[in-house]
Amino acid sequence: MLVVTVLYCTLKNLLKLDFVAGGACPSKATIPGKTVIVTGANTGIGKQTALELARRGGNVILACRDMEKCEAAAKEIRGETLNHRVNARHLDLASLKSIREFAAKVAEEEEHVHILINNAAVMRCPHWTTEDGFEMQLGVNYLGHFLLTNLLLDKLKASAPSRIINVSSLAHVAGHIDFEDLNWEKRKYDTKAAYCQSKLAVVLSTKELSRRLQGTGVTVNALHPGVARTELGRHTGMHSSAFSSFTLGPVFWLLVKSPQLAAQPSVYLAVAEELEGVSGKYFDVLKEKAPAPEAEDEEAAKRLWAESARLVGLEMSHGSTERGQPLPE
């Protein structure tokens, strides 16, 4: 009886939260000749996003930490789409050095960057830190992409109209930005809260970046892709007990999306002609929605931007970047 009750409540809550909402990208637009960067593209949503954009004619760069898996994914996508402009490049978002090297290579070798999809993420991992000492979820999900985006802004502006897509999560609604302890150095570590904070930071910074990019021809939006069957949840404990593995597991896998379906929001924001000029918005799957109230706090967004720039070393003197160019105001 207990098992039946738990299953019923699980089904009810999953359906109530609309985890299975959203369908195929409604836009049929193609992007021949446009250069696209997708982070975390060797598996899951990122791989399916890269596949779909390659199918639509894009010059797609898969930016991943694991080069063996990245090369295999690029080869698979080339074979499936017959688009040979699909390449693998090394990018470790847990290393500021790696991010700078990746951005420098793109600046040197690519004439344009039209679409940047900040997709890579870690979820509810143990209390790990990045190479530079950041809490892992904040470092990979937010700070790494923050630095990458800023380093590619000149290329994106020169390629305008161009788009930045930040993959966030519905979990941002449960997030809170603790400016006194962003990296969980003073508090007892809560991996769920850390994940939610990182995803809230993504939405907040999207708003602020959009403000700074007004008039440049570069747009930036954030999205929740839905809950998908990917490797992202490997640290959540779904398979940590016989009950969760054999009873709740099948229910979860039945109701959540395939990576292919969960990639559709990113594809939509990347290609849809009707979204030309739309910026600073949050999309819940394929529909624009208001994010959590904290994600619309302009002062918090400005404060987070300044602190993020300091942490990743973008801020040198008088508000300049490490390359001597002024940060967007």
Distance CA 95, CA 246 (A): 37
Domain count, the chain: 1
Structure tokens at 125: 């991992």
The answer to whether residue 13 sits within a structural domain is no
Q: Global pTM?
A: 0.85
CATH of residue 293: 3.40.50.720
- Dihedral (CA of 183, 201, 41, 19) sign: positive
> Which domain, by its residues, includes 204?
25-307
The answer to whether residue 29 sits within a structural domain is yes
In this predicted model, what pLDDT tens digit does every residue of 220-261 receive, in sequence order?
Answer: 999 999 875 544 444 444 444 444 444 444 444 445 669 999
The answer to whether residue 20 sits within a structural domain is no
- Among the listed residues 8, 142, 189, 195, the single catalytic one is 195
The answer to whether residue 46 sits within a structural domain is yes
Residue 168 pLDDT class (50, 70, 90 cuts):
very high
DSSP alpha helices (H): ranges in 224-297?
A: 242-243, 249-255, 259-262, 264-271
Close Cβ partners of 327 (under 8 Å, ≥ 6 residues apart): 150, 309, 314, 315, 319, 320, 321
Structure tokens at 150: 């800023």
Residue 5 pLDDT class (50, 70, 90 cuts):
very low
- Res 290: pLDDT: 97
Distance CA 282, CA 280 (A): 7
The answer to whether residue 16 sits within a structural domain is no
The answer to whether residue 100 sits within a structural domain is yes
Q: Which long-range contacts (CB under 8 A, 24 or more apart) does 30-34 make?
A: 30/56, 30/57, 30/271, 31/56, 31/57, 31/58, 31/114, 31/115, 31/270, 31/271, 32/56, 32/57, 32/58, 33/57, 33/59, 34/58, 34/59, 34/112, 34/114, 34/115
- Res 328: pLDDT: 54
- To the query of whether residue 195 is one of the catalytic residues in this protein, the response is yes
The answer to whether residue 218 sits within a structural domain is yes
- Res 2: pLDDT: 42
In this predicted model, what pLDDT tens digit does every residue of 117-148 receive, in sequence order?
Answer: 999 999 989 999 999 999 999 999 999 999 99
- Res 286: pLDDT: 96
The answer to whether residue 322 sits within a structural domain is no
Q: Is 324 a residue whose pLDDT tops 70?
A: no
Q: Is 22 a residue whose pLDDT tops 70?
A: no
Q: Are 139 and 129 in contact (CB under 8 A)?
A: yes
